[in-house]
């Protein structure tokens, strides 16, 4: 059951003076989809949202919602719900009046307004607070009121601009699941802006990674994590070990030469000679005592453990290799087998590495 509508963005470009906020962004969002726009601040995700909402006019490009072209249509005629980071509730109206506001603009009969407001407050779980003023509510409650207000008039598209950014961690996690539930129940198309990678992974059907006014990659969360298409996408989403180098060798044994190292990796045919980066997630790294034999389809480096970080469900070992690199390797069980200063072999299977086009990303390295 889908009440959503599809959104098609093509060639969206926006400049502020000499700064380019958006540089030819194309994105198609399917009806009923939960799409997250993820990226560091200044990457263009919020500008994209503001253009879709009609708050900002693009210099070039089009926005189409279903069959309707939105460029030049004022915000108040777009029928798009928007949820803001700082709630933007009307301070002089009670909760019920805030939620009823869009219905009053549409001149619905009073009884129907009351009924619809009651229904949506039920969905967000705030029926008891209808007579409160916004200032009498907690941040989480205020954001749920804002969500109800943006959905009550039945928009087919809902835009959420870092709606959980002002809330503390526990509240944020609760609301993430609640927003997902509301998305499932209503089937409205959701476009969610965040700079929080974990939030993006938890909530989205698909994620569009923004960098420097462009989209680096659009993919489902697991695909984005396992098969990033660029170094930026790999580093922004999750932690990774990176080896930069060039493709060398030939035939099946294609290798990557990274400052003196020769590593096996799954390189596409014809990529010979190009600058690339090899990305391996920490959980794909094996750690064995020094002298342990490694299979022929694996790469191995010898080093010394410099730190063991306990992270709850897993441990992260930091290894300084003998040729001066730093490697992160995660072990799922809290590990007591290894201690600082142990000599170890770090290895990974060639197929667990992802090869992306090389060069360092220009902005916003992931944490």
What is the binding site for other proteins (CB under 8 A)? 53-55, 74-82, 84, 86, 88-92, 101-102, 105-106, 135, 149-150, 153
Q: Of the two residues 135 and 169, which places its CB atom closer to other proteins in the complex?
A: 135
Query: 362: which 2 tokens?
Result: 């220009």
Sheet (strand 214-220) strand order? 81-83, 157-161, 189-194, 34-38, 206-211, 214-220
Minimum CB separation of residue 166 from other proteins in Å reads 12
- Find the shortest distance in angstroms from Cβ 75 to other proteins: 4
Nearer to other proteins, 50 or 204 (CB): 50
Residue 195: Cβ within 10 Å count: 20
**Token pair belonging to 186:** 């209503």
Least distance CB 77 / other proteins (angstroms): 8
Closer Cβ to other proteins, 59 or 259, answer by number:
59
Closer residue to other proteins in complex, CB, 133/246? 133
Q: Which is nearer to other proteins, 130 or 346 (CB)?
A: 130
CB atoms within 10 A of CB 343: 13
Residue 97 or 320 with smaller CB distance to other proteins: 97
Between the two ends of the chain, the Cα-to-Cα distance in Å is 39
Q: What is the distance between the alpha carbons of residues 69 and 50, in angstroms, rounded to a whole number?
A: 16
For every residue of 82-103, DSSP letters joined together read EE-TT----TTS-HHHHHHHHH
Judged by beta carbon, residue 80 or residue 287, the one nearer other proteins is: 80
Residue 163 C-beta: closest distance to other proteins, Å: 13
Least distance from other proteins to the Cβ atom of residue 180, Å: 22
Task: Give the three-class secondary structure for 80.
Answer: coil
Minimum Å distance from CB 91 to other proteins? 5
Sequential DSSP letters for 156-204: SEEEEESTTTTS-HHHHHHHHHHHHHHHHHH--EEEEEES-HHHHHHH-
Q: How far apart are CA 57 and CA 22, in angstroms?
A: 12
In angstroms, give the least distance from the CB of 37 to other proteins: 17
Shortest separation between residue 92's beta carbon and other proteins, angstroms: 5
Maximum separation of any 2 CA atoms in the chain, in Å: 80
Q: For other proteins, which is the closer residue by CB, 73 or 302?
A: 73
Strands 189-194 and 286-289: unpaired
Alpha-carbon distance of 245 to 251, in angstroms, equals 18
């Amino acid at each position: 059951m889908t009440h959503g509508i599809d959104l098609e963005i093509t060639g969206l470009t926006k400049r502020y003076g000499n700064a380019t906020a958006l540089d030819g962004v194309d994105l198609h969002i399917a009806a009923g989809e939960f799409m997250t726009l993820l990226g560091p601040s200044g990457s263009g995700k919020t500008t994209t949202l503001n253009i879709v909402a009609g708050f900002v006019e693009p210099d070039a490009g089009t926005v189409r919602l279903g069959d309707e072209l939105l460029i030049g249509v004022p915000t108040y005629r777009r029928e798009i719900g928007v949820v803001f980071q700082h709630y933007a509730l009307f301070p002089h109206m009670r909760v019920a009046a805030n939620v009823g506001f869009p219905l009053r603009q549409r001149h619905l009969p009073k009884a129907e307004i009351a009924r619809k407001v009651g229904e949506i407050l039920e969905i967000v779980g705030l029926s008891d607070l209808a007579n409160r003023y916004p200032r009498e509510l907690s941040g989480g409650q205020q954001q749920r009121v804002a969500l109800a207000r943006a959905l009550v008039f039945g928009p087919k598209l809902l835009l959420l601009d870092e709606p959980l950014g002002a809330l503390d961690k526990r509240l944020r996690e609760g609301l993430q699941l609640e927003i997902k539930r509301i998305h499932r129940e209503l089937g409205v198309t959701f476009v969610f802006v965040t700079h929080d990678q974990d939030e993006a992974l938890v909530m989205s059907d698909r994620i569009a990674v923004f960098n420097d006014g462009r989209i680096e990659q659009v993919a489902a969360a697991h695909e984005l994590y396992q098969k990033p298409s660029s170094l930026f996408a790999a580093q922004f989403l999750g932690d990774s070990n990176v080896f930069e180098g060039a493709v060398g060798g030939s035939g099946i044994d294609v290798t990557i030469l990274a400052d003196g190292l020769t590593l096996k990796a799954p390189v596409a045919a014809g990529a010979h000679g190009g600058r690339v980066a090899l990305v391996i997630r920490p959980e794909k790294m094996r750690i064995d005592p020094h002298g342990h034999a490694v299979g022929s389809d694996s790469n191995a480096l010898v080093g010394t453990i410099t730190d063991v970080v306990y992270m709850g469900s897993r441990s992260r070992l930091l290894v300084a290799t003998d040729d001066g690199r730093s490697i992160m390797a995660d072990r799922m069980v809290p590990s007591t087998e290894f201690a600082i200063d142990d000599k170890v072999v770090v290895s990974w299977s060639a197929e667990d590495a992802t090869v992306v086009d090389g060069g360092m990303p220009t902005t916003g390295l992931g944490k």
